[in-house]
Structure 1
């Protein structure tokens, strides 16, 4: 059975991303105009990026664009190519720098462009806008049916969760790993093992198992059973996908980054899978945060495109020293050329961000997969759906201890009392996390796991 995802896109031009494991994606879309497909290296709307806009300009033409720049690489007339009353099928392919799109059932693309400087594509995003909402049925080429062979089939994951359905008599096996293959660093989840009597969590292919729970009758050979696996900073949770009840849970004190999942069955079991590893900007383990309109630069030629400085365009706020500017963003969006300050324990990049809270402007971290930035204040981690991202700034970090902040440290904000705050980062539990340096306290505070944590030894960002 193919991996089919049903996706709804509102009229907001905000891409929703999912990972791909091959050079083609097939989909059906129902929309009156502007079915946009993005090809990127990561799960965010940032450069480098290919955009294939199908049925734009009032459903009259289609284009291929790279890095949101004009003129478009290719532009063709496609009147009536999409329809708001019925699904239309398409495919998008990328191979050796050639990006193309075609209609379902047709092998010849209706639009194509060869990039002389291609980049590897790992994610696909879809969105609609300019008065259009869309309903999508997205199908990846890879299938996830598993024979009785105990061999994992691997695919990439975009964020800290994997939702799937399994139909089989027993022995549903799922692994999480830092690469597309079996290796020493792996988490394994065996659901309905031992003739459908118990389930376990296994770490790095070693026994004894970290968790063992009785789960009699968990699997069924005649119907799909739904599950959800979540991971964040070493915390692993297996849930019943129907009611959210926790089946198993374990915390790894030394977590490793997870980039891929694998599925298999064995010991006499053949499995059928429906797997959802679709990225929609949130993870259930993350604190909730308000959402806001997406940051988006309308393409030239569309009605209502706002020039720089016009109300509705994202303002740039110059910092009080050094290079770089702060750009408004929201809902997990990353501005091109944003400064990467570290990485989450899952391996996801963390961007230097700041947000207002309780009268202060606080430096913190942007976690795109959570759809928000986090700032530390008052002993807690606070999620912010609206924030600013440091763009085009420095990326020179200097070790510091206590109050010994060197001259030329990059200013990041100020406390509610008006004290200047700087941008720092700390290595903690497998992550490199950015936060605020408060000189009068002699520590760097980071937002982490719902808390504000202070560290006397840290690195500070220099201008």
Structure 2
């Protein structure tokens, strides 16, 4: 989503979720809900065939991506593009749904990468990269093929428009997450920049491209650069993006335990979502990147890339 500030609700074990409950009959007709923040958290109780549609508007229209959970008699799940076969992703998921209990899932999207996972698990079991990314503003849900369903859908307020900061002439904000990413350079700090740490001066949350990756790191205004960590080293970047107008919370965690409301803030060269983390180190509070499959938060510090298993992660509130 471009030009929008994204907000959400807090981490399940620290904050309160707000859920909308609904029933879907056995008729394969989508009910659409506005979404914001690049994530859709839900629980579903159904014997098979829980379907979701990701769209720009509140109806079925191209481009559209569909996620089918527990199809083909609750034996496999797929991602389908524009209602056309063959499916772009297909995985075996025997008994992924249950008619007698709610089971939780999440769908995330960032820079055209769509991932689907189970509640409480950071790793996705389905992933697809849309070559022509489109804004996802609505998610539709339905059941069919002999199944009706009970859903618990986390409320997601529509994203408000970011006002243009007075005196700011940078390009428009980009991306999604608990705020907006505003392009900047040379140590510039855009209005409403989100503080992320301290090292003799205020540090801000930034990200920059390096080696085909988009990597969260720290902006040090007096140095005129943002620093990111990659390949064991700290890399200065004169061109970067700064997280602005965010309303996030810092949640303690460790390893690859990613809270459901952690918003993707970048991606590795392999397409894995990266998140914003920070650690206390050598009298500083330094932001960096969380790489879930590695189980570490990496920070750029003293010319090095330093790894920490215990850290705080930024989640939307």
By how many angstroms is 1:373 displaced? 2.8
Choose from 60, 63, 84 the match for 1:206.
84
Choose from 206, 212, 215 the match for 1:373.
206
Match of 1:341 in 2: 171
| TM-score, normalised via structure 2 length | 0.54
Choose from 51, 65, 71 the match for 1:193.
71
How do residues 114-193 of structure 1 correspond to structure 2 at under 5 angstroms? 138=18, 143-193=21-71
- Secondary structure in 2 aligned to 1:341? coil
Cα RMSD after superposing both structures: 4.5
Count residues in correspondence.
217
Stretches of structure 1 that go unaligned for 5 or more consecutive residues are: 1-40, 45-122, 127-133, 280-332, 355-359, 389-412, 425-446, 452-463
By how many angstroms is 1:276 displaced? 2.1
Stretches of structure 2 that go unaligned for 5 or more consecutive residues are: 195-203, 228-237, 242-264, 270-317
Does the 8 Å CA contact 2:9/2:16 hold for their aligned counterparts? Answer: no
- 1:373-410 C-alpha deviation (Å, 9 max, x unpaired): 3134688644246677xxxxxxxxxxxxxxxxxxxxxx
Q: Which moved more, 1:237-246 or 1:169-178?
A: 237-246
Does the 8 Å CA contact 2:5/2:176 hold for their aligned counterparts? Answer: no
Match of 1:266 in 2: 144
Q: Highest relative contact order (Cα 8 Å, sep 6+), 1 or 2?
A: 2
How do residues 395-414 of structure 1 correspond to structure 2 at under 5 angstroms? 413=224
* Residues 1:375 and 1:240: Cα distance change in structure 2 (over 3 Å): same
- Secondary structure in 1 aligned to 2:95? coil
* Residues 1:266 and 1:415: Cα distance change in structure 2 (over 3 Å): closer
- 1:108-139 C-alpha deviation (Å, 9 max, x unpaired): xxxxxxxxxxxxxxx7989xxxxxxx975646
Match of 2:120 in 1: 242
- 1:336-389 C-alpha deviation (Å, 9 max, x unpaired): 5465624546799642345xxxxx73799x999xx943134688644246677x
- 1:285-336 C-alpha deviation (Å, 9 max, x unpaired): xxxxxxxxxxxxxxxxxxxxxxxxxxxxxxxxxxxxxxxxxxxxxxxx9995
Match of 2:182 in 1: 351
- Secondary structure in 2 aligned to 1:144? strand
Does the 8 Å CA contact 1:167/1:221 hold for their aligned counterparts? Answer: yes
- Secondary structure in 1 aligned to 2:187? strand
